[in-house]
């Protein structure tokens, strides 16, 4: 077996290689990206909008401060509105994204109570989670979602009422599944098993912290996690995991299969797993930069990274740059504000200042290093601070990417419902140009 695997592995080095110039020759948009790095428009949505450019009087794209819009409402307005009223905002965000409208006060209370009551899992599902042997929570999450199909009385029903019922159930149970999966993982590593069931009356964010840590969290911890869920709830139809859910949903498959496909996409290190790469990079930078206030020392190390001489020698500074945002990422701006307050509470303000300075120097060094080869301004994306925030709350790295899924399930469900609600049903099927050569078949005895 090893011999045949080795033989095929050697052949794919040439048989799967496609020259870069062929993409330009056949006008193929690699990665569904235009040459200016903007995304190729492949669909329409009313769920959300991600804005990093606007057109000037001549019709040319001009970078602007980033905007993230949920159902026509600015994310910043939603967040600031909740903060002014000293309340949490994730449940309101869930209602808005799924329904398309902001809830009345009484409706929001009823909706929040419903989500809180729905968090508890069927005992059979709980036992299934605790029996899982896998070492990756994202894989276990996908397996549990597929398992939910068997506990649904109408799993293939795509009526509006049933889709909303399934969506709310997934939004409410994701925190519970992730918390149980993490505790099961710890138990499999020889540690004590602590299963705390969700408490009625607590928000999704607070219930998650309770299931993970007992009562060992602060009010600011809850507010910060609630904010993190709000900023990650949706990001338009073009992000990889949401597009995956829409592609899968367009086939007419069931909700659980479609959501499991989104989880698989989000797990990737170029998507939801990116914040872990930032965390690892920051550990390396902290070890190699002795004075966190020395601009010259910081610049020297960043230049080594850009020249592929330091860290993972990829030439990348993780957490810097985004496919759409240019001047600023609105999610980063909101999370950074809360991170500053949290750092003061946790006695990690010097570390926050280091992140802040590193963000500034990374952008400057990147732009100078790239020069004219990069045709757009760059900014820090949300991954730059999210891992730092989760760590300050006291959450383990194993759940950083699952936390992303815990928020993004909202957008996934909304986009799935929209995809299924189109009057003209059409499977998403883009075309691929065959760049291979024509070969003559040779009979087996003549080879």
Cross-strand bridge partners of residue 328: 65
What is the CA angle 153-157-158, rounded to 5?
145
Residue 141 three-state SS: helix
| Per annotation, catalytic residue among 232, 235, 383, 415 | 383
How far, in Å, CA of 125 to CA of 121, rounded? 6
What are the structure tokens assigned to 167, written together?
Answer: 């969506």
- The CATH architecture to which 274-392 belongs is Orthogonal Bundle (1.10)
Phi and psi angles of residue 348, each rounded to the nearest 5 degrees, phi first: -120, 30
Regarding beta strands 61-70 and 73-74, do their DSSP bridges make them parallel or antiparallel, or are they unpaired?
antiparallel
**What is residue 39's predicted lDDT score, i.e. its pLDDT?**
83
pLDDT at 327 over 80: yes
Q: Are 242 and 234 in contact (CB under 8 A)?
A: yes
Estimate the crossing angle of helix 255-266 against helix 160-188, to 10 degrees: 50
Higher pLDDT, 188 or 427: 427
Catalytic annotation, pick one of 235, 322, 329, 415: 322
What pLDDT, in 10s, does the model give residues 182-225? 998 877 777 777 889 999 999 999 999 999 999 999 999 999 99
CB-facing half-sphere around the CA of 304: CA atoms within 13 A:
14
CATH classification for the domain delimited by 105-268+399-420, as one of 1.10.10.10, 1.20.1260.10, 1.10.580.10, 3.30.70.1290: 1.10.580.10
Sort 77 into a burial class: Cβ within 10 Å, 0-12 / 13-18 / 19+: exposed
Q: Tell me the per-residue pLDDT of 51-109, one tens digit each, with 9 for 90 and over.
A: 998 888 888 888 999 999 999 999 999 999 999 999 999 999 999 999 999 999 999 99
Return the residue matching tokens 């899992």.
121
Q: Which of 211, 179, 217 is nearest to 196 (CA)?
A: 211
232 in active site: no
Q: Where are the domains of the chain?
A: 105-268+399-420, 274-392
Same fold, 105-268+399-420 and 274-392: no
Q: Label residue 165 exposed, middle or buried (CB < 10 Å: 0-12, 13-18, 19+).
A: middle
How much of the chain exceeds pLDDT 90, in percent? 79
Q: With bands split at pLDDT 50, 70 and 90, how would you rate the model's confidence at 375?
A: low
Query: What's the whole-model pTM score?
Result: 0.94
Res 241 pLDDT > 90: yes
Give percent above pLDDT 70 in the chain.
99
Annotated catalytic residue 322 = yes
């Amino acid at each position: 077996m090893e011999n045949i695997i080795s033989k095929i592995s050697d052949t794919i080095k040439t048989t799967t290689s496609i020259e870069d110039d062929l993409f330009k020759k056949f006008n193929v948009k690699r990665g569904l990206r235009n040459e200016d790095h903007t995304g190729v428009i492949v669909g329409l949505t009313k769920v959300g909008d991600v804005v990093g450019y606007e057109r000037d009087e001549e019709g040319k794209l001009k970078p602007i401060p980033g905007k993230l819009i949920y159902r026509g409402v600015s994310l910043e307005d939603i967040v600031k509105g909740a903060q002014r009223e000293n309340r949490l905002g994730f449940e309101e965000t869930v209602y808005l994204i799924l329904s398309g409208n902001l809830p009345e006060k009484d409706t929001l209370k009823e909706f929040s109570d419903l989500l809180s009551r729905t968090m508890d899992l069927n005992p059979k599902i709980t036992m299934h989670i605790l029996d899982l042997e896998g070492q990756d929570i994202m894989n276990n999450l996908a397996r549990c979602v597929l398992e939910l199909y068997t506990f649904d009385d109408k799993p293939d029903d795509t009526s509006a009422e049933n889709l909303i019922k399934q969506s709310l159930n997934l939004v409410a149970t994701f925190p519970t599944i992730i918390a149980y999966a993490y505790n099961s993982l710890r138990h499999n590593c020889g540690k004590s098993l602590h299963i705390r069931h969700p408490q009625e009356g607590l928000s999704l964010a607070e219930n998650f912290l309770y299931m993970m840590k007992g009562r060992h969290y602060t009010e600011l911890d809850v507010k910060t996690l609630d904010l993190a869920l709000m900023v990650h709830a949706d990001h338009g139809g073009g992000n990889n995991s949401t597009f995956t859910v829409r592609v899968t949903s367009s086939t007419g498959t069931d909700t659980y299969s479609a959501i499991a496909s989104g989880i698989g996409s989000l797990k990737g290190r170029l998507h939801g797993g990116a914040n872990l790469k930032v965390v690892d990079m920051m550990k390396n930078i902290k070890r190699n930069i002795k004075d966190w206030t020395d601009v010259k020392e910081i610049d020297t190390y960043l230049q080594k990274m850009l020249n592929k001489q330091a860290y993972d020698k990829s030439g990348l500074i993780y957490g810097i740059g985004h496919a759409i945002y240019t001047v600023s990422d609105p999610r980063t701006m909101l999370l950074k504000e809360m991170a500053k307050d949290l750092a003061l509470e946790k006695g990690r303000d010097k570390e926050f200042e280091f992140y802040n300075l590193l963000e500034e120097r990374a952008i400057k060094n990147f732009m100078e290093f790239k020069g004219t080869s990069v045709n757009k301004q760059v900014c820090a994306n949300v991954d730059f601070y999210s891992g730092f925030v989760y760590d300050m709350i006291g959450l383990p790295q194993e759940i950083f990417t699952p936390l992303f899924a815990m928020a993004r399930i909202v957008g996934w469900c909304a986009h799935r419902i929209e995809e299924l609600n189109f009057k003209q049903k059409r499977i998403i099927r883009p075309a691929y140009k065959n760049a291979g050569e024509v070969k003559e078949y040779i009979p087996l005895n003549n080879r």
